[in-house]
Amino acid sequence: MTVGRFAPSPSGRMHLGNVFAALLAWCSVRNVGGTLLLRLEDLDPDRCKPVYGDQIKRDLEWLGLDWDREAQPQSQRGEVYRSYLDRLEALGLLYPCYCTRDQLLAPSAPHRSDGRRIYPGTCRDLTPAQRAAMTKAPALRLRVPDRTYTVHDGLQGDYSENLEADCGDFIVCRADGVCAYQLAVVVDDGLSGVTQVVRGRDLLDSTPRQQYLQELLGFPIPETCHVPLLITPEGRRISKRERDLDLGVLQSRMSPEILIGALAHTAGLLDRPRPITPRELAADFSWSRVRREDQIAPFLT
């Protein structure tokens, strides 16, 4: 039985890129008669607000993308995440990290050719005396092994990362006590029996870290499909700057069927944009017809 999910962060109105990922997640699950879960990823108290969560639900309903179960929002699950942090602690894999943002982002800090930072292990082996002398609250980092994890992505193909060389030890709990995305997503997907993760391609490089956590915590590894990002003609990822792509604006200009048809065409599922319901689209959905490269967003004026 396929269990998929929508996992939006309620930090604003959905933009077209979120709708695109949600549509493909929905079609993939509905095509095989599976179950869809909606989970609001509202871990960040500074960015997320309940009104945005309500808006996302209304927008999904307007689009015709329904769900079967709603998970408890992540902001209410601190104790659950704490129990998994305790397990990682018991494995001897956590340590406090006192590095500041400035230190981590310094131009001299190690990074990969694509710009992603690699944690150099600054706080890995501090002595108890050094830790005791620190005055700031620490984040918690998870030690990673010198091991390569390979993701067999349903859309992007194989993606491999050696966690030590390409990533370094990563944060599982922020200095303010909020559980980090990587751990929360693994615990929530694991406990709710998610078997298929469909999300933006920008999260492909999180997947090896998530596989490592799944292995440590005894959760099965779900199938993943990382979908293209929607970009501007200049190649920049669309954002709130593209006001025409705000769902509120789009709703005032067109029916959900026109919007779905345009996104289906962008995905490679229709040979021309035409009005269609999600249900019609799901009936003959196949990942083999979905494009894997980033796509220029429709409706850009």
**Segment contacting ligand GLU (CB under 6 A): 3-11, 101-109, 218-226, 258-266?**
3-11
What is d(CA 201, CA 195) in angstroms, rounded to the nearest whole number? 18
19 vs 142, beta carbon nearer ligand GLU? 19
141 vs 199, beta carbon nearer ligand GLU? 199
| Residue 196, token pair as written in the block | 């298929």
User: Residue 175: left (phi > 0), alpha (psi -120 to 50), or beta?
Assistant: alpha
Strands (E) located in the chain:
3-6, 35-38, 69-70, 94-97, 139-142, 148-153, 157-162, 170-173, 196-200, 223-227, 230-231, 295-296
4 vs 261, beta carbon nearer ligand GLU? 4
Segment 248 to 277, residues that bind ligand GLU, using CB under 6 A: none
Q: Is 9 in the site for ligand GLU (CB under 6 A)?
A: yes
Q: Is 41 in the site for ligand GLU (CB under 6 A)?
A: yes
Q: Is 221 in the site for ligand GLU (CB under 6 A)?
A: no
Nearest distance from residue 185's CB to ligand GLU, in Å? 5
Q: Is 203 in the site for ligand GLU (CB under 6 A)?
A: yes
Which of 19, 36, 63, 185 is in the footprint of ligand GLU by CB under 6 A? 185
Q: Is 188 in the site for ligand GLU (CB under 6 A)?
A: no
Which of 7, 22, 245, 260 is in the footprint of ligand GLU by CB under 6 A? 7
47 vs 274, beta carbon nearer ligand GLU? 47
Contact 175, 136 (CB under 8 A): yes
95 vs 170, beta carbon nearer ligand GLU? 170
Cα separation values, 17 from 8, 23, 47, 209, 240, Å: 11, 10, 19, 24, 11
What is d(CA 3, CA 10) in angstroms, rounded to the nearest whole number? 22
Q: Which residues of the chain form contacts with ligand GLU (CB under 6 A)?
A: 7-9, 41, 185, 199, 203
